[in-house]
Amino acid sequence: MLLTFLVVSAVFIIEPAVENYPDDARVFPQLTASVVFIGSLLLLSQNYLPDPLHKFVAKSVSITSSDEDTIAADESDQEDEATADEEYKKDTIGAEYGYEVNETVFMVSTAILYFIVGWSAGFLFATPLYILAYTLWFRVNPALSVGLAVLGTVVIYLFMTYLVLPFDQGHIFDFSPLLPLFLDASTTFPGGGA
């Protein structure tokens, strides 16, 4: 994570010089990126810093607690610890077939997939599929799953209708002309549908 911060802040420092940004577009981001860069560098090298500097970088300070211990040196250790603490296995369809997928990984992966399908084919069509897939995977009552999928679709439809959003159109697939086949043909969609 600190390496990511270092790389990103370095880009923010170098890019204005390479692209020749004017002063009023350059100074503030470069200053803030410098703070991130120096701070990340200090955190990354905290175990090798001289004692006073090490204390300044690693000391935990809080006005809500008297605990002033130094923070753990290795971020990855904390991460493993946190994962172990929170680990909880849910009953899933995958488990029945021998596929053990971490719940958080599953949540993020399906959300990314939902985003991609929504972008390419429209949120109106991706939403019920996403909700059904997510809830059925975790063995939510099928009737409740279908109910939630309908509710989610209605929410998206309301966004389309009242906020005039093109959720029925994707950037790759456009199923919007098919909508009247499913709904009343006289319905008009402010979001750009039929």
Partner 1 sequence: MALDAFLEGLSIATSGQMLVWLTLGLLLGIILGALPGIGSPVGMAIVLPLTLPLDATAAIILLVAIYSGAMFGGSISAILINAPGTESAAATTLDGYPMSKNGLAKNALAIATTASALNGFLAAIALIVLSPLLIEVVLAFGSPEYFLLAILGISLITIVTQGSIVKGLVAGALGFMISTIGTAILSPRPRYTFGQFGLYEGIDFVAALIGMFAFAEMMKLAARKQISEDDVEIAGNVRDGILAVFKYPVTTLKSGLIGMGIGMVPGSGATTSTFVAYAEEARSSTKDGKFGEGDPRGVIAPEAANNPTVSGSLIPTLSFGIPGSGSTAVLLGGILMHGLQPGPVLFGEQLQITYALFISLFLGNILILVVGLTLIPYASRITELDTNVIIPMVVVLSFAGAFTLNQNWWDVGAVIALGLLGFYMVRNNYSIIAFVLGIVLGPIAEENFFRSLQISGGEYRIFIHPIEQPLSFLLSLAILLILFGPFLKGRFEQAVTSG
Within 30-89, the residues that bind partner 1 by CB under 8 A are: 32-33, 35-36, 39-40, 42-43, 52, 55-65, 67-68, 71, 75, 78-79, 82, 86-88
- Piece of 133-141, 172-180, 181-189 that binds partner 1 (CB under 8 A): 133-141
Q: Tell me how far, at minimum, the Cβ of 154 lies from partner 1, in Å.
A: 11
The answer to the question of residue 172 lying near partner 1 (CB under 8 A) is no
Phi, psi for 129 (deg, rounded to 5) = -65, -45
Q: Any idea which residue has 């053990």 for tokens?
A: 100
Alpha carbon distance 160, 173 (integer Å): 17
Total of residues contacting partner 1 (CB under 8 A): 78
Q: Choose between 58 and 194: whose C-beta lies nearer to partner 1.
A: 58
111 to 104, 114, 115, 127: CA distances (angstroms): 11, 5, 6, 10
Alpha carbon distance 87, 28 (integer Å): 42
Within 84-103, the residues that bind partner 1 by CB under 8 A are: 86-88, 90, 103
